[in-house]
A and B are shown apart, each in its own frame.
Chain A
Amino acid sequence: MNPALSVVFLTTLIGVGQGLFLALFTQQSYALFDLLPHQDARFYGWGSLLALCFTMAGLIASFFHLGRPERAWRSATQWRTSWLSREVIVLPAFMGILFLYGVSHLSGFDPVLVKLPGGLSINATIILGGVGTILAFALFVSTGMIYACLRFLQEWNSPLTVINFILLGSASGFTLATLYAAMFAPAQAGFFGGWAIIITVLGLLGRSTSLWRNARLKPKSTTQTAIGIKHPRIVQKAQGAMGGSFNTREFFHGKSASFVSRMKTGFLVFAFAVPLLLLVVDLSHASVLLLCATFVAQYVGLLAERWYFFAEARHPQNLYYQGIS
């Protein structure tokens, strides 16, 4: 596939937003059970609005993918069958919750809604946070399933696709939360940093597994099944057009094998190795600048990762476009 920058930015940016929200609400959940000190409402509030900015940027990026963005509203109609449609519904819903969660914290309108028998009081932000968590995961699943549900794109057609979207998005979000905490609640940076390390390691495991799996895939479709002629040697001599077509532009990335392999090394280094190293260093020598570098490195790494994710998928239609003339 030819990676579309709009989709690369969409999936990575909303991933950061989802991860950041999950990180904030994880901390608030810990605080609910008195495992961590409850932070100032502004910490959660502005954090949630920061997450909203990332999802907003992702949403804007997604519009660049559409040929007819003015009709985008129509894409919410086929949620019964289309994962893309489900994503289109869940993303704004999640953004709405981010807004409400943030505003509820910032405005101080956070009434106790339920008093549990154990003496635990459930505030409005806890309910909103719970709904937001469900929506964040629903969004990860929808985004991942857009790719994982295409059965003949064998590189994507695996639960690993969804798992990696969850892990990589969360990893970048928790890294951003570490930076955010280092700036506004330094005592909590260790908590977020610890989780960021754990999730980044899990992300590395998940992504390595999918790289290992994809390297061993045997394409089900061959030139023989594509045209139905069972001869071992078939060479394409013409593809019906010499100046290229949508089929050659959309499904071939046109980059050399060495470029693709450099992207793979690049994302393994920048999305995993560098952030892990910097996060570990940061545990003992906390520094906002260092965490800035960590987040930027990981985000750039994830851009490369998403580029590679698209580039590594070999679409069976390419079998019909093997030679020009």
Chain B
Amino acid sequence: MKLEVGYIRICDISFAEATEVKEGTLYVNAKELESMVLEDERIAAVCFDIARPGESVRITPVKDVIEPRAKVEGPGDIFPGVITKMSTVGMGKTHVLRGAAVVTVGKIVGFQEGIIDMSGLGAEYTPFSKTNNLVVNFTPKEGLSPHEYEAAARHAGLTIAYTLGKLSAALTPDETKVYEFPSMVEGIKKYPDLPRVGYVQMLQSQGLLHDTYVYGVDMKKSITTMLCPTETMDGAIISGNCVSACDKNTTYHHQNNPVIEDLFAEHGKTLNFAAMVITNENVYLADKERSSDWTAKLVDYLDLDGVIISQEGFGNPDTDLIMNCKKIEATGTRTVIITNEYAGRDGTSQSLADADPSADALVTAGNSNQVVTLPKLDRVIGTLEYTEKIAGGFAGNIVADGSITVELQAITGATNELGFNLMSAR
């Protein structure tokens, strides 16, 4: 499979009469988008806002972040099986509005959504302080159930990102990257001396605001399976979760999975990127046993020399992580796991909820319990009404001067376990 990804640089975003891209600026007609969103009768109202890098803006409670992309050549379309017709993606040509993002916010569903600060200390911890964000703020219809509300908000965010992404199709990319993924036999023939490496991606699947969808399939109802890594670049995996926003993969993370990018960067040089396995993180023990059995079985069957395992979430999924690691190591395949830590605010607690001696190669995205005080920012998009209640907040954390104190876990993407960031801990 071969996918060419063309990046069109977006340096600014602005409201305008016509929705278009001109000289690196994304212009948006909010009225058009509004009527599109309101076609969904579950949503009572929607308003749009703009947040640029460096502005004194706080966005909360954030549900998802999505990158606008368009399919230019090849089968299928962006967000297959969800926004567009089901068809296998990951081949041909895709364009990206690089530097732009759609951010969905609105009244919380549970306790769970995150914070994005566009400047100040908080901006250092979230990757989305560096994107030009179109913020979509929903008001759900009175009496709508949390599950329905979450689904409506998710769908609307994807629809808007898809619509904006379409603009990129006719543009000339500033930069192009080619990702070529050989079939198993081709790979072995081409790189007989390189170690065959796989990627095991664990997907959060514990229920409301903890779900992930693959080609529209709710991952908690799927058995462990395989994907061609380029499929993720066309939106095959989408996020339905942001609980403890620091370590949940937004759709943007899935579209730009850094493990996939970094394995491709070494592909044909120091390793042969041979397979990608996706598995879930369900709450029942039987599901955990089944999924990790299957993960190990597939890795063994594929005869891989090594795999990188990325986790999503913490606590309960630590069990899935350790099961996957232990069972894969037992097949003779070497593992490196990527996780984050809950070592307590002072950093002196044990960091994981499960452990095993075979997990001897670990990359950490940092301690999510670290406390930070975020300065008052001039403008809030969304509401601070839930800042005490969201995961990472606590009673009395909004100070009179307008600053807020939270654990890093409240900041969207701060300790992402795909290894998206530079942050670590020792």
Q: Do A and B bind each other?
A: no
